[in-house]
A and B are shown apart, each in its own frame.
Chain A
């Protein structure tokens, strides 16, 4: 499997260079922020999408502090910080940056990027999803995005084309589900570290290539040996995002002997558990899949009871021994949800470890982190 993984990783790494070539060939480069921006629509419009979701390094969130609030979460500050430091290879190429706007951290960060002179298009996402009028707002935003892309490319986006890319994304989702299901076994051939990487790679290659690579990986994994001991502690990793590049905590958990058996993340991982309908109006289908059909994101309201029901299903389905709540520093709404979930999990007697990251991974910071992680994994092992 390793060689296919390496190929997949290399393709993802090469994506910025590929984008430079494509741009030179006259293609439009459209980085996007957040999964409320339908990647399928961007592909269908013939532009070159690129997910902006990079984190895990200490300098970028610090670099923006002259102009940005210290208490914005480090992922939002990183996205701006990489650009400011000249370390973002794609934003400077952008013909348009499409940013979904579900919450204040990313909303203010998007404004900051605008003030830097970058071309932004914002997709508003109303949080009160139980109101029909709110849903229609998001739908109109998608219509406007489609129109904006048509303006940008001087070409109409056909329904058939959108459907085609919905089909590819559904296929990617199905493959990720197939791979994810392997983690339900006693000794799975991959854990969260690999699974999260697969997710990330899949954002940065053409969907057809992603399908090809994921298929090859699924086949090899299904035929391969288990990598985890049968009775190792099984963990659900939940929170806001595991950003591209932010793998230290994930790795530490599995190095400590645990298996990340599944995840519940709002960003950084594909929403692969939910497919988009193929029949009917494709834009409406994308809208429904992202806004209504999936478990609500944390910022939606009401959300937390729905999300906990989902979490309980994951705990049962993946035979979870403990939950690791992976939180971005100063992410105030996730912090509140953590308190709520901690209480409810206590009632179920499921242990929870809260880890908070500011992307400060110095030796001084990782020492206590490792101790926490090892103690938690050890306590789960003892409880089995």
Chain B
């Protein structure tokens, strides 16, 4: 039996018996380092997690356990560095294959991580406790009013709190927003001149009718930029990545991709739906951050979840009422899982995240045999890597495939690249697909400005509209069928 809230948390993450006893001291130490106390633990295990997560599923609990394992590992970065382990950091969004290949090649001699992403994915969805670290960054000068990215604030906060030491090298994909890579310069300039980063950037400068990954010069440029940075990573760490490491990393990716695809499809098509949209995104973390502890724990959780979902579907069970409308999104905001909960309370299921659905083009294997060329093509086929015109048509393709009853946009107001697209693109998608889109100005990571209380009414109204439209559509279809059955109907 678990005694303290710390133990209860570990139990909840499927740490039992001897393993739990062994992990407990590390967990208490880790929690303390990232600013979690016993009261936070109690709130998490007694209120927040049971309300926000579907703990009846072993797969969900195992996933929490896997995330906990990774978070504990991250609180040991300073010790790792002292032991001579080379620290390689990155930021989202990135193509993970090169990072994972470094880990495959370097083993325990290298710690490969996106620390801000890892700890954001742990602190906010499970404890709702990112704010103290955001505030630390704000006190340092990343002003509250300017709408900086909370993930970047967390990176600064973690450095200021001395949880995360300077890396041997940070390889920052600066291919979406401007702020993420400049945070490296910011930390270097005012807190830690040992914070060393190599950045990969590409201007967003394609024009209407240009398709990013079909411009050979663009692909070649990005490939050269990746090569330049990757060679720097290998030079600094002394890790030599061979083809077999890249192949092993790609294998992991493909295998995991296949499995998540199964889970997403099963969930999205099920009625009643057995899992929340935010949980689906949580299972996809291995696409957005490298796991220094390996992906096997997440994969075990995923395997379990798939089986459980199959059973639920076979038994006609779900967590939403049968017939509940499904709302898709660019990215269901898993960091603030109460959004999901409010939709659920209003009888609407959050389902597919567009960014988690592969477009037809993404399923085509890259054209070359060169790693860098392939990574460049992969990147330019992702929605964040495209100009808005191609991105809009890719969104339309994905929406037509996922067929949600409505689409929820917004939550990226702090991101001048992604956020603007949500405003500009939503109307175009609605026009092309007929699926209603709703824009909510809010923050994917940080809900201090856009609290549950502030957004509840808006979500309730949106839910009402979605339900009414779905009902009207069904009545319309029924009416059309009735007309079609009448004698003489064309």
A residues contacting B by CB (< 8 A) are: 66-72, 101-105, 107-108, 111-112, 114-115, 120-128, 131, 133-134, 137, 140-141, 299, 301-305, 329-333, 335-336, 339-340, 342-343
Contact = CB atoms under 8 A, between A and B. Distances in A.
Contacts of A123: 205
Contacts of B217: 140
A107 B228 contact: no
A119 B414 CA distance: 29
26 contacts: A69-B416, A69-B419, A69-B422, A69-B423, A71-B419, A104-B204, A105-B416, A107-B205, A107-B417, A108-B420, A111-B389, A112-B424, A115-B388, A120-B207, A121-B207, A127-B199, A140-B217, A141-B205, A301-B181, A301-B201, A333-B178, A333-B179, A335-B143, A336-B186, A339-B143, A343-B141
A69 B146 CA distance: 13
Contacts of B206: 122
Contacts of A121: 207
Contacts of B419: 69, 71
Contacts of B178: 103-104, 127, 299, 332-333
Contacts of A299: 178, 182
Contact of B199 (A102, A128, A133, A329): A128
Given A103-B178, A108-B417, A112-B424, A122 B146 contact: no
Contacts of A69: 413, 416, 419-420, 422-423
B146 A305 contact: no
A331 B146 CA distance: 7
A68 B424 CA distance: 6
A104 B417 contact: yes
B147 A342 contact: no
B223 to A, nearest CB: 11
B186 A330 contact: no
Given A114-B207, A332-B146, 9 more contacts: A66-B423, A68-B424, A102-B203, A108-B416, A122-B206, A128-B199, A333-B178, A335-B148, A340-B141
Interface in B186-227: 186, 189-190, 199-208, 217, 221, 224-225
Interface in B116-152: 140-143, 146-148
A158 B174 CA distance: 37
B185 interface: yes
Q: Select the residue from B177, B228, B413, B423 with max chain A CB neighbours within 10 A.
A: B423
Q: Select the residue from B142, B183, B388, B427 with max chain A CB neighbours within 10 A.
A: B388
A366 B202 CA distance: 39
Contacts of A342: 141
A104 B416 CA distance: 6
B25 to A, nearest CB: 38
Given A67-B423, A72-B416, A101-B205, A330 B146 contact: yes
A301 B170 CA distance: 14
B201 A108 contact: no
B228 to A, nearest CB: 7
B98 interface: no
A339 B142 contact: yes
A122 to B, nearest CB: 4
Given A67-B427, A108-B420, A120-B208, A127 B146 contact: no
Given A333-B178, A333-B182, A339-B141, A122 B205 contact: yes
B397 interface: no
Nearest to B392: A115
Interface residues on chain B, size class: 35 or more
Contacts of B143: 335, 339
Nearest to A133: B224
B177 A104 contact: yes
B441 interface: yes
B387 interface: yes
Contact of A335 (B146, B208, B424, B441): B146
B476 to A, nearest CB: 29
Nearest to A132: B228
Contacts of A141: 205
B228 A108 contact: no
A133 B221 contact: yes
B420 A114 contact: no
A342 B141 CA distance: 9
A108 B206 CA distance: 11
A111 B390 CA distance: 11
A111 B190 contact: no
A122 B207 contact: yes
A133 to B, nearest CB: 5
A336 B203 contact: no
A71 B414 contact: yes
Nearest to B181: A301
Given A120-B208, A124-B205, A301 B146 contact: no
Q: Select the residue from B183, B185, B414 with max chain A CB neighbours within 10 A.
A: B185
B201 A111 contact: no
A31 to B, nearest CB: 16
A343 to B, nearest CB: 5
A372 to B, nearest CB: 15
Q: Select the residue from A103, A111, A303 with max chain B CB neighbours within 10 A.
A: A111
Contacts of A304: 185, 189
Contact of A336 (B147, B182, B388): B182
Interface in B141-180: 141-143, 146-148, 174, 177-179
Contacts of B147: 71, 330, 332
Q: Select the residue from B186, B203, B206 with max chain A CB neighbours within 10 A.
A: B203
Nearest to A121: B207
A134 B229 CA distance: 13
A304 B181 CA distance: 13
B387 to A, nearest CB: 7
Contacts of B141: 336, 339-340, 342-343
Given A68-B423, A140-B217, A101 B190 contact: no
Top 7 closest pairs, chain A to chain B, by CB: A339-B141, A124-B203, A124-B205, A108-B420, A104-B416, A122-B205, A101-B205
Q: Select the residue from A72, A333, A342 with max chain B CB neighbours within 10 A.
A: A333
B329 to A, nearest CB: 17
A322 to B, nearest CB: 19
B446 to A, nearest CB: 13
A251 B414 CA distance: 32
A141 B387 CA distance: 17
A295 to B, nearest CB: 15
B177 to A, nearest CB: 6
B203 A101 contact: yes
